[in-house]
Structure 1
Amino acid sequence: MPELNGVLETALYVEDMARAQTFFEGVMGLTPFTADHRFTAFDAGAGSVLLLFLRGETLETVVLPGDMGTIPPHDGSGRVHMAFAIAASDLAPWEAQLRDHGVAIEGRTHWPRGGESLYFRDPDGHLLELATPGVWPSY
């Protein structure tokens, strides 16, 4: 069987793109690669990309210029979950960053392998996690 090399993209669907961009740039420190009225692509570190899509704006097939191809329709709703990998030494600075931006920490987990997770919400109510090594056997 061929191997997978990891998760390249993770997508969240948001109600207000400007508000979401402000949060992910200002609070999370992510840098956008590209954006338009319906999506923003952020560098999420270690070769991964966080895609924000304006809810309801990706319901039609996108035809790319020239012979590039198409992107099929997709959308999502509800408060979904995603995790960002962080170094254990960055846990306390991240707690301070969240506190300084008025972001409440909703949960904390100390995992059997030694990892720790902090849980909090973005402005659309998605559950975000900061996770240190030791959360999973592969991380």
Structure 2
Amino acid sequence: MPEPTGILETVLYTDDLDRAKTFYEAIMGLSPVFSDARMAAFDVAARGMLLIFRRGETLAPVETPFGTIPPHDGTGPLHIAFSIAKTDLETWRETLAAHGVEIESVVNWPRGGQSLYFRDPDGHCLELATPGLWPGH
């Protein structure tokens, strides 16, 4: 059986797209790739895309010249983790503090990795994880 080669897109939903775009650009340092009234797409280290959709705007299929995108949506505090270099951990702590983002939890993993947990403006649980969390990371 063939196996996937990676995760290409991760999706979060927001009630305030402008606020979310500002957070992910200014605080997380992600580069915007595309944006319209319905969604914003950000490059994540040239290895994947973070898509932020305005909540409720994707409940109907979207017809494009290339095909139909099926409906999707989400509610509640979702979770995503970003991989970071161990040497960048303190810089991330300082960056988050400088923007008034509270670190909710720090976890020291058995394989040697460390994770910082915090929230985006929509309450989504974000994680910054150094190598040593999972096999292959």
- Settle same-fold status: TM greater than 0.5: yes
Q: Which residue of 1 aligns with 2:128?
A: 130
CA distance in 2, matches of 1:36, 1:60: 17
Q: Gapped runs of 5+ residues in structure 2?
A: none
Q: Which residue of 2 aligns with 1:91?
A: 89
Q: Gapped runs of 5+ residues in structure 1?
A: none
Q: Which residue of 1 aligns with 2:72?
A: 74
Aligned residues: 137
Identity %: 60
Task: Quote how far apart the aligned CAs of 1:138 are.
Answer: 2.4
Bigger Cα displacement from structure 2, 44-53 vs 128-137:
44-53
For 1:102, give the aligned amino acid.
G
Runs of 4+ in 1 over 6 A off after TM superposition: none
Q: Does residue 1:22 correspond to 2:12, yes or no?
A: no
Q: Which residue of 2 aligns with 1:57?
A: 57
CA distance in 1, matches of 2:58, 2:8: 19
Residues 46 and 85 (structure 1 numbering): CA distance in 2 closer, same or farther, change over 3 Å? farther
CA distance in 1, matches of 2:95, 2:82: 15
Among 99, 102, 106, the alignment partner of 2:100 is 102
Deviation track 1:5-40 (CA, whole Å, cap 9, x = no partner) reads: 111100000010000001000000111100100100
TM-score (norm 2): 0.98
Secondary structure of 2:32 counterpart = strand
Deviation track 1:59-106 (CA, whole Å, cap 9, x = no partner) reads: 1111102xx111000000000100000000000000000000000000
RMSD, matched Cα:
0.7
